[in-house]
Amino acid sequence: MFTTILAGRTAPLAATRSRAVPRVATRAAQAAISLHVAGYASQVKPIERIAVVGSGLMGAGVVQVAAQAGLHVYMVDLNDESLRKGEKIITSSLKRVAKKKFGGDAEGADARAYIDDVMSRVKLSKDSAAAASDSQLVVEAIVENLQTKQALFRGLDKAAPAETIFVSNTSSLPIGDIASATGAARQAQFAGMHFFNPVPQMKLVEIIRTPQTSDAVFDALVAVTKKIGKVPVACKDTPGFIVNRLLVPYMMEALRLVERGDASKEDVDTAMKLGAGYPMGPFELLDYVGLDTTKYITDGWYQFGKGLKGDKLVGPSSLLDKLVEEKKLGRKSGEGFYSYQGVGADKGKR
């Protein structure tokens, strides 16, 4: 429809690009260079129309940065209330962007024209199949549950053109398992595209390919990542990819420290900000990510995670479980480890 992406070779990631890299380069440098090379090597038509399914914290952020970069975006969710929430996340973030762009005035004519221009490229929809049928790329950012994600993609596989690329923004689930709900041809068009929260501010996107993901699809995802102003890194389909494999166990260790009574959550947060230079302490970050999302991640790894199954590092935390049970999910619900009542999901804590 919009682009022709052929299912290409299925060589493993490290082998696909390394020939172009000078011998003197370190492995890390090789990876960076190979991504750089891949971005230019592609014959794929640029991605201009995308559908983002899920308009929560992450989906709304992806919609925003894509529309800011000039892409046409469907923002899809289950109901009007969720779509309205997503729209609100985007407009309040765009106000911050516009404020900086236009000298501190987020309400002035220039700022308004900028926000209206970005929002003119965003279409709201409750029909994921219709949105996918009109898109070159579908980004899934719905709840972190394998069966729910599989059910969504199973339906979209039938609705979307054969050349449409599917990606999941999952934090922790194997991309191959999600992709397995689709047919063999689509699996060559399937990858992970892992954005970070808050999407407008965090520069990184992890691109995850399975053994089935084609080179052309990988290249197209590198190119679209750069187009929306982000920096791509590549990772195999391994639990947590790069960032979450390191970050989630760190947050769980912070929970254990407090559960044992070794230190207060406030002191742990202060310690990591002032002693390790982190922008947020682990409890502030847990509230930021969402306690339900963190619980989905660790429960999944503890039960099924390759190399992590049964590992105490990702075992249940009574403190986390209690807050999730009480629907205290962090900033998005107004309360988690800290209270955010009346200050908005993207504002500071009380």
Name the one range near ligand NAD by CB under 6 A: 101-109, 168-176, 204-212, 252-260: 168-176
**Does 202 interact with ligand CAA (rule: CB under 6 A)?**
yes
The secondary structure of 59-103, three-state, reads: HHHHHHHHHHCCCEEEEECCCHHHHHHHHHHHHHHHHHHHHHHCC
Q: Which residue in the set 50, 52, 132, 141 belongs to the binding site for ligand NAD (CB under 6 A)?
A: 141
**Does 8 interact with ligand CAA (rule: CB under 6 A)?**
no
Q: Which residue in the set 16, 293, 298, 317 belongs to the binding site for ligand NAD (CB under 6 A)?
A: 293
Total binding residues for ligand CAA by CB under 6 A? Answer: 19
Q: Report 244-283 residues binding ligand CAA (CB under 6 A).
A: 244, 247, 279-280
Establish whether 244 is a catalytic residue.
yes
CB of 82 to ligand NAD, least distance (A): 4
Long-range pairs, 38-43, Cβ under 8 A, ≥24: 38/215, 38/218, 38/219, 38/222, 39/219, 39/222, 39/223, 39/226, 39/232, 41/219, 42/216, 42/219, 42/220, 42/222, 42/223, 43/216
How far is it, in rounded angstroms, from Cα 50 to Cα 137?
5
* Residue with Cβ nearer ligand NAD (218 or 288): 288
Name the one range near ligand CAA by CB under 6 A: 14-22, 74-82, 199-207, 335-343: 199-207
Establish whether 171 is a catalytic residue.
yes
**Does 187 interact with ligand NAD (rule: CB under 6 A)?**
no
Q: Which residue in the set 100, 154, 309, 327 belongs to the binding site for ligand CAA (CB under 6 A)?
A: 100
Amino acid at 290: G
Q: Which residue in the set 68, 93, 135, 212 belongs to the binding site for ligand CAA (CB under 6 A)?
A: 93
Q: How far from chain centre, in Å, is Cα 345?
A: 18
**Residues 76/127, Cβ–Cβ less than 8 Å:** yes
Of 144, 163, 206, 284, which residue is the catalytic one?
Answer: 206
Name the one range near ligand NAD by CB under 6 A: 34-42, 164-172, 224-232, 234-242: 164-172
Do you know the residue count of the chain?
350
Return the one option of ligand CAA, ligand NAD, none that residue 198 interacts with (CB less than 5 to 8 A, by type): ligand CAA
Establish whether 206 is a catalytic residue.
yes
Establish whether 72 is a catalytic residue.
no
Q: In what order do the strands lie in the sheet with 49-53?
A: 122-125, 72-76, 49-53, 137-140, 165-168, 190-195, 204-209, 231-236
**Residues 295/171, Cβ–Cβ less than 8 Å:** no
Please name the residues in contact with 209: beta carbons below 8 A apart, sequence gap of 6 or more: 13, 175, 191, 192, 217, 218, 234, 236, 237
Return the one option of ligand CAA, ligand NAD, none that residue 22 interacts with (CB less than 5 to 8 A, by type): none
Q: Which residue in the set 56, 174, 192, 239 belongs to the binding site for ligand NAD (CB under 6 A)?
A: 56
Phi, psi (5° rounding) for residue 232?
A: -85, 145
Q: Which residue in the set 5, 49, 54, 163 belongs to the binding site for ligand NAD (CB under 6 A)?
A: 54
Render 125-189 in DSSP notation, one character per residue: ES-HHHHHHT-SEEEE---S-HHHHHHHHHHHHHHS-TT-EEEE--SSS-HHHHHTTS-HHHHTT
CB of 104 to ligand CAA, least distance (A): 10
Return the one option of ligand CAA, ligand NAD, none that residue 279 interacts with (CB less than 5 to 8 A, by type): ligand CAA
Hey, which residues does 76 pair with through a beta bridge? 53, 125
- Indicate which residues carry an active-site annotation: 171, 194, 206, 244
- Contact set with ligand CAA (CB under 6 A): 93, 96-97, 100, 171, 196-198, 200-202, 243-244, 247, 279-280, 285, 289, 346
- Contact set with ligand NAD (CB under 6 A): 53-59, 76-78, 82, 128, 141-144, 148, 152, 169-171, 195-197, 289-290, 293, 332
